[in-house]
């Protein structure tokens, strides 16, 4: 059985002959003992969607005509602080800014919310402090000449679950209401067997220049991310915001303030037997370290079958809603996806499960699973990744490839996980 090249797979895509599966379809074939070989698979589309703090945007904002102010000292978008520069744009009436996805306007609105509203085409308010005056202007993304999102740390191969082993409550970005202890709940992240880096753990097909989808828009891998290691690699990526799909992004309010939702989809070209072997990974085989939230040091481990081999979507039964005067679900929903009058807005719902532990009745249906630690079955009360959205994004990427709208790219350079292996092998 001969190896295949990226060029050969692209030729099949152009001719409409490529065999493409989503990661979900591929894993289902494995569980059904269906044959998967280089001969009957060309591409597998993988994806992840979750809280990715290392997300930011660079934008060139139009403020005034030329000569009306010297330079911006401070700047806000919908009260979210931005950093003007690095170019001063002196007296040009425009300002380069960097906005962090984790920047906060207040305890419930931050950079992630701002990014989604921009992509939705909503009007946002810019406020600029120039030193001698304050200028305000309303813009939409159509008014912004340059709007590019980048991730300095996204798509971790694997993350951790967190718990509080002592009495009390710990306010943390890994909890919506605070993580209670001792050993009362676990918060988890990661899309398990759908995650691109779980399916290419040594970064054999993913490298600098790999074409991907970032929140549904075409983007590229530009290198490794911060905190990347051989055991737990992650990526730096970049993509223009104009074609992004707001469904795959947004803000997520935690007990320590707003965080940023980002989604990544990556095609895995099936070039040789090693690629097929790596793609065979299943939830049951993917380690999920469990750490003490106070120091984030793992003390035990489980696997992602305990997280995802149940219901992935949260449902609401209005007939079982008691209509309390103060609804805790409405109060705590981290994406503001629920209201007593309208129920769940599926376009905003992150399927995180906060509603299950917040509802005083039995109006919500879902199964977040549990993890056994020291003979104690501890419930998972929060998922900070949305596997349902990851599935949808991998389906979009599959369609784009099948219809010839998305060709694969050959990396121009390796990332260090593979480079390390090659050096060790003397290659």
In three-state form (DSSP H/G/I as H, E/B as E, the rest C), the secondary structure along the chain is CCCCCHHHHHHHHHCCCCCEEEHHHHHHHHHCCCCCCCCCCCEEEEEEEEECCEEEEEEEEECCCCCCCCCCCEEEECCEEEEECCCCCCCCCEEEEEEECCCECCCCCEHHHHHHHHHCCCCEEEEEECCCCEEEEEECHHHCCEEEEEEEEECCCCCCEEECCCCEEECCCCCCCCEEECCCCEEECCCHHHCHHHHCCCCCCCCECCEEEECCEEEEEEEECCCCCCCCCCEEEEEECCCCCHHHCEEEEECCEEEEEEEEEEEEECCCHHHHHHHCCCHHHCEEEEEECCCCEEEEEEECHHHHCCCCCCEECHHHCCCCCCCHHHHHCCCCCEECCCEECCCCCCCCCHHHHHCCCCCEECCCCEEEECCEEEEEEEECECHHHHHHHHHHHHHHHHCCCCCCCCCCECCHHHHHHHHHCCC
Region 64-75 average pLDDT: 94
Instruction: Answer whether residue 187 is part of any domain.
Output: no
* The two structure tokens encoding residue 38: 């280089």
Contact 49, 190 (CB under 8 A): no
Instruction: Answer whether residue 45 is part of any domain.
Output: no
Contact 95, 72 (CB under 8 A): yes
pLDDT at 87: 86
Region 248-264 average pLDDT: 97
Contact 143, 59 (CB under 8 A): no
Region 90-107 average pLDDT: 96
pLDDT at 364 over 50: yes
Region 242-262 average pLDDT: 97
* The two structure tokens encoding residue 16: 């409409």
Burial 169-193 (b: 16+ CB within 10 A, else e): ebebbbbbbbbbbeebbbbbbbbbb
Instruction: Answer whether residue 177 is part of any domain.
Output: no
CA-closest candidate to residue 191, choices 55, 325, 23, 77: 23
pLDDT at 320: 84
Residue 212 exposed, middle or buried by CB count within 10 Å (0-12, 13-18, 19+): buried
Region 111-134 average pLDDT: 96
* For residue 227, cis peptide bond before it (omega within 30 degrees of 0): no
pLDDT at 84 over 80: yes
Instruction: Answer whether residue 171 is part of any domain.
Output: no
Region 345-365 average pLDDT: 91
What are 397-419's pLDDT values in tens digits? 999 999 999 999 999 999 975 55
Q: How many domains does the chain have?
A: 1
Instruction: Answer whether residue 298 is part of any domain.
Output: no
pLDDT at 417: 56
What are 19-46's pLDDT values in tens digits? 999 999 999 999 999 999 999 999 999 9
Domain holding 109, by residue range, is 54-150
pLDDT at 427: 46
Q: How far apart are CA 122 and CA 118, in angstroms?
A: 6
pLDDT above 70 as % of the chain:
96
pLDDT above 90 as % of the chain:
83
Instruction: Answer whether residue 304 is part of any domain.
Output: no
Q: How far apart are CA 421 and CA 417, in angstroms?
A: 7
Region 106-126 average pLDDT: 98
Residues facing residue 180 across a β-bridge: 169
Confidence tier at 77 by pLDDT (50, 70, 90): very high
pLDDT at 426: 47
What are 279-334's pLDDT values in tens digits? 999 999 999 999 999 999 999 999 999 999 777 788 898 888 877 778 899 999 99
What is the pTM (predicted TM-score) of this model?
0.94
Considering only residues 158 and 157, tell me which one the structure prediction assigns the higher pLDDT.
Answer: 157
Mean pLDDT, the chain, rounded, equals 93
Instruction: Answer whether residue 365 is part of any domain.
Output: no
Q: How far apart are CA 157 and CA 178, in angstroms?
A: 26
Instruction: Answer whether residue 143 is part of any domain.
Output: yes
Region 114-128 average pLDDT: 98
pLDDT at 1: 57
pLDDT at 420 over 70: no
Residue 215 exposed, middle or buried by CB count within 10 Å (0-12, 13-18, 19+): buried
């Amino acid at each position: 059985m001969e190896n295949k090249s990226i060029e050969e797979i692209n030729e099949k895509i152009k001719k409409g002959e490529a065999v493409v599966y989503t990661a979900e379809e591929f894993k289902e074939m494995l569980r059904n003992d269906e044959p998967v070989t280089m001969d009957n698979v060309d591409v597998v589309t993988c994806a992840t969607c979750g809280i990715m703090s290392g997300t930011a945007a660079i934008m060139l904002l139009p403020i005034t005509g030329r000569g009306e102010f010297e330079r911006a000292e401070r700047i806000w978008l919908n009260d979210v602080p931005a950093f003007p520069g690095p170019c001063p744009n002196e007296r040009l009436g425009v300002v380069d800014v960097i906005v962090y996805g984790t920047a906060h306007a207040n305890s419930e609105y931050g950079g992630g919310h701002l990014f989604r509203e921009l992509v939705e085409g909503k009007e946002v308010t810019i406020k600029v402090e120039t030193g001698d005056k304050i200028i305000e202007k309303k813009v939409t993304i159509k008014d912004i000449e340059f709007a590019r999102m980048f991730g300095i740390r996204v798509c971790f191969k694997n993350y951790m679950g967190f718990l509080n082993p002592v009495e009390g409550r710990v306010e943390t970005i890994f909890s919506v209401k605070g993580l209670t202890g001792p050993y009362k709940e676990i918060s988890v992240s990661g899309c398990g067997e759908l995650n691109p880096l779980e399916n290419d753990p040594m970064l054999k097909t993913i490298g600098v220049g790999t074409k991907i989808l970032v929140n549904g828009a075409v983007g590229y891998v530009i290198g490794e991310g911060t905190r990347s290691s051989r055991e737990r690699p992650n990526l730096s990526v970049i993509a223009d915001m104009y074609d992004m799909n707001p469904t795959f992004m947004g803000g997520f309010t935690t007990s320590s303030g707003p965080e940023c939702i980002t989604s990544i989809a990556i095609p895995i070209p099936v070039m040789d037997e090693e690629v097929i072997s790596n793609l065979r990974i299943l939830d049951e085989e993917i380690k999920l370290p469990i750490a003490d939230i106070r120091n984030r040091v793992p003390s035990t481990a489980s696997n992602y079958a305990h997280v995802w081999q149940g219901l992935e979507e949260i449902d609401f039964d209005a007939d079982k809603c008691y209509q309390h005067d103060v609804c805790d679900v409405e109060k705590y929903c981290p994406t503001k996806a629920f209201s007593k009058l309208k129920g769940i807005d599926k376009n905003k719902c992150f399927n995180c499960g906060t509603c299950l532990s917040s509802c005083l009745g039995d109006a919500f249906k879902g199964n977040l699973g549990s993890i056994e630690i020291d003979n104690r079955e501890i419930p998972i009360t929060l998922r900070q990744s949305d596997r349902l959205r990851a599935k949808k994004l991998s389906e979009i990427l599959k369609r784009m490839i099948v219809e010839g709208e998305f060709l694969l790219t050959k990396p121009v350079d390796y990332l260090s996980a593979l480079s390390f292996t090659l050096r060790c092998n003397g290659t």
